[in-house]
Structure 1
Amino acid sequence: MSTSILVSEVGPRDGLQSIERIMGTPEKKAWIHALFKAGLREIEVGSFVPSHVLPQMADTAELVGFARTLPGLAVAALVPNLKGAQAAVKAGAHKISIPFSCSETHSLKNVRRTHEQMIQEVQAIGAFLKTLPEAERPHLEGSLSTAFGCTMEGVVPEDKVMDLAQILIEAGCDEVGLSDTTGYANPAQVRRMIRKVHARVGADRLTGIHLHNTRGLGLANALAAIDEGLTTIDASQGGLGGCPFAPGASGNIVTEDLVFMLEAMGFSTGIDYDALMHARQLLSDALPGEPLYGMVPLAGLPKNFKAS
């Protein structure tokens, strides 16, 4: 088990995509900078989707450019297709993720593509990236969305998830990520799925997981993933986020709670908690009245608490 865990902050993308009120670009930049100053070393700053679909993401290219000026920060972005990937490369993203819903019903709602069409998109992105000099290629992750269940289809067969993981790697992804889009996962399921994906495509091809806390199991699932060898855990400050096309699946893991748990257990995250709370205040100020979640921000750190 690794003693160092990368907390990948997805608030500026997944956290904001479900919020109707548009957060201003200067406020987003201030928030991203504060997260960076707190010690976050990977931040998903937005998604390259049409602005009429998600107006909140209209400034993603500008945010990528800004985040690129922060030394040592891995700048990530979501892309739904080849056009989005080309825009992400032009903007300078270090990492791009494409959401591939294991539930075809969810795929049709989320990106309006069948599985076959999405495979073709991934293959096109993979071929496009191969035309770039190696130093200019962003890391490509195929995010296996609804891997633990779908609000529309219900149970998603695990063998189907394994097959899709292999297909994504063969199509050109550098790695795959498991995503509990709907907040259905439990720790036993997380352990089992990780072992199966590692057996199918290799442990080096699955290092991260994206979890929601919809049913209160987010941190338990994160710990199960770490026990199985994963070293990157997605989280969103204030627990913001949720998929617009997965009804009721609100609430990413709260960054503040995840960092506390990891540091209290002796893992190193490199994150300064006081600085993280300053970033939370900037977020709160930029979105007055928007509910922010988290148990540790509510209760405070234990007396004499020291990070690892």
Structure 2
Amino acid sequence: MSASLPMSVPAAGLPARVRIHEVGPRDGLQNEKMVVPVEVKADFIARLADAGLDTIEATSFVHPKWVPQLADAEALMPRLEGVDARLPVLVPNERGLDRALTLGVREIAVFGSATESFAKANLNRTVDESIAMFAPVVARAREAGLRVRGYLSMCFGDPWEGAVEIDQVVRVSRSLIDIGCDELSLGDTIGVATPGHVQALLTALNAAGVGTERIAVHFHDTYGQALANTLAALQHGVSTVDASAGGLGGCPYAKSATGNLATEDLVWMLNGLGIETGVDLGALTATSVWMAAHLGRPSPSRTVRALSGTTSPQEQ
């Protein structure tokens, strides 16, 4: 599928290149009602890599009882041996790490919360208890030479607690860095962030000793703010952005969360800003159209719809 491209008009003060951390195969598919066959998942990841995405979060080693959509992690990973991309996986605890290490995984992520309510709903632990659970996982992973990412959800708002204080987010962020996480992904899980809030949090993290080079952003588009918030982060110097092909995904434990920022929408904006990504937008769009057909519904991504001529879910 060929793609038209926006005029490239660079803006001052932005990174020359952005690394897109593609989360569709994990964060996207874990929220689907249907279980996608392992062969389709493997093909999806291979197509994403062929489109130029060099970091693709492949799956999760969470207990199948909690995320049955990703129960086939052991079957999936051997099918990805020829994929030319970094393939991090999510692990919740030491048992998950054991499973990942057995399969030769080289990068992992842990998934924490900035709020007590979501930590209880997602991990059945307090925030501090969850950090204590992650500490041996991160230590063992680092000893094995793995790179470790720390996800932090509810950084801007929580469906039970409302607005989340910046100091609270900074404290938990600092805890994840202190136990050994190489990178911190700030999640706007219910999509309530706005650009000023984004820049204030980034400034506060820097003041607490968390360098911008260690920060990624992960925005949801509940109120249509994901791209605006991403631009605010880029203006601060962030150069790693999470996105999901075709806009797949949400959060199974936060019912008010809508989909992730669509990778195609992000790439369109970055292309227009003259920022390198290495991604072929036409190939990526074709991949999302292909996956949407497997899921039985069109992609919610505006860019996918514009470039492919498909209609939105609301127009069906």
Under a length normalisation based on structure 2, what TM-score does the superposition of the two structures give?
Answer: 0.89
Partner SS, residue 31 of structure 2: coil
1:16, distance to aligned residue in structure 2 (A): 1.1
> What per-residue deviation string (whole Å, max 9, x for no partner) do you get for residues 157-202 of structure 1?
1111111111112122223221111111111111111111122133
Tell me which residue corresponds to 1:100: 112
- Which residue does the alignment assign to 2:148? 140
2:251 corresponds to 1:247? no
Identity of aligned residues (%): 36
Equivalent position of 2:127 in the other structure: 115
The answer for the alignment partner of 1:228 in structure 2 is 236
Residues 113 and 119 of structure 2 are in contact (CA less than 8 Å); yes or no, is this contact kept in structure 1? yes
Q: Distance between the aligned counterparts of 1:198 and 1:65, measured in 2? A: 39
Displaced runs of 4 or more, over 4 A? none
1:205 CA drift (Å): 5.8
Q: Does 1:23 align with 2:42?
A: no
Question: Once the 2 structures are TM-superposed, how far is the Cα of residue 281 of structure 1 from its aligned partner?
Answer: 2.5
Q: Deviations over 1:21-61 (max 9, x none)?
A: 01111111111111111000000111111112111101223
**Structure-2 residue corresponding to 1:88:** 100
Whether the 8 Å CA contact 1:177–1:210 is kept in 2: the answer is yes
2:289–2:299 contact (8 Å) kept in structure 1? no
**8 Å contact kept, 2:182–2:214:** no
Task: Measure, in 2, the Cα distance between the counterparts of 1:88 and 1:231.
Answer: 27
Question: 1:86, CA displacement in angstroms?
Answer: 2.4
Paired residue for 2:224? 216
| C-alpha distance in structure 2 between counterparts of 1:119 and 1:110, whole Å | 13
CA–CA separation in structure 2 for the residues paired with 1:185 and 1:83: 34
The alignment partner of 1:293 has SS state of: coil
1:68–1:75 CA contact under 8 A, matched in 2: no
2:198 is aligned with 1:198: no
Which of the residues 54, 75, 79 maps onto 2:91?
79
Q: Secondary structure at the match of 2:88?
A: strand
Please provide the CA RMSD for this pair: 1.6
Q: Is the 8 A contact 1:236 1:253 kept in 2?
A: yes
Matched positions, count: 295
> Contact 2:23/2:58 (CA < 8 Å) preserved in 1?
yes
Q: Which runs of 5+ in 2 are unaligned?
A: 1-13, 309-316
Aligned residues of 1:30 and 1:282 also touching (Cα < 8 A): no
Match of 2:83 in 1: 70
Asked if the contact 2:213/2:239 (under 8 Å) is kept, the reply is: no
Q: What is the alpha-carbon distance in structure 2 between the residues aligned to residue 186 and residue 295 of structure 1?
A: 20
* 1:2-13 mapped onto 2 (5 Å cutoff): 2-13=15-26
Question: How far 1:91 sits from its partner (Å)?
Answer: 2.1
Cα distance change, pair 130–78 in 1 and its aligned pair in 2 (3 A): closer
1:128 aligns with 2:140: yes
- For residue 237 of structure 1, what is the amino acid of its counterpart? A
Q: 1:152 aligns with which of 160, 175, 189?
A: 160
Report if aligned partners of 1:11, 1:241 keep a CA contact under 8 Å in 2: yes
**Unmatched runs of 5 consecutive residues or more in structure 1:** 302-308
Is the 2:155–2:187 contact (alpha carbons within 8 Å) kept by the matching residues of 1? yes
Give the Cα–Cα distance (whole angstroms) in 2 for the partners of residues 23 and 96 of structure 1: 22
Q: Is the 8 A contact 1:122 1:172 kept in 2?
A: no
SS in 2 for 1:16: helix
- 1:179 counterpart letter in structure 2: G
1:51: which partner in 2? Answer: 64
Q: Are positions 1:296 and 2:303 aligned together?
A: yes
Q: CA deviation at 1:112?
A: 1.3
Structure 1 residue matching 2:148: 3-state secondary structure: strand
Deviations 1:84-131 (A, max 9, x none): 222222223332111111111111111212122212112111332244
C-alpha distance in 2 between matches for 1:93 and 1:187: 35
Q: TM-score, normalised by structure 1?
A: 0.91
Amino acid at match of 1:49: V
Structure 1, 211-220 or 93-102: larger mean CA deviation: 93-102
The answer (yes or no) to whether the contact 1:212–1:250 under 8 Å persists in 2 is: yes
CA contact (8 A) 1:197 1:206 kept: no
Q: Following TM superposition, by how much is the alpha carbon of 1:78 offset from its aligned partner in structure 2, in angstroms? A: 1.3
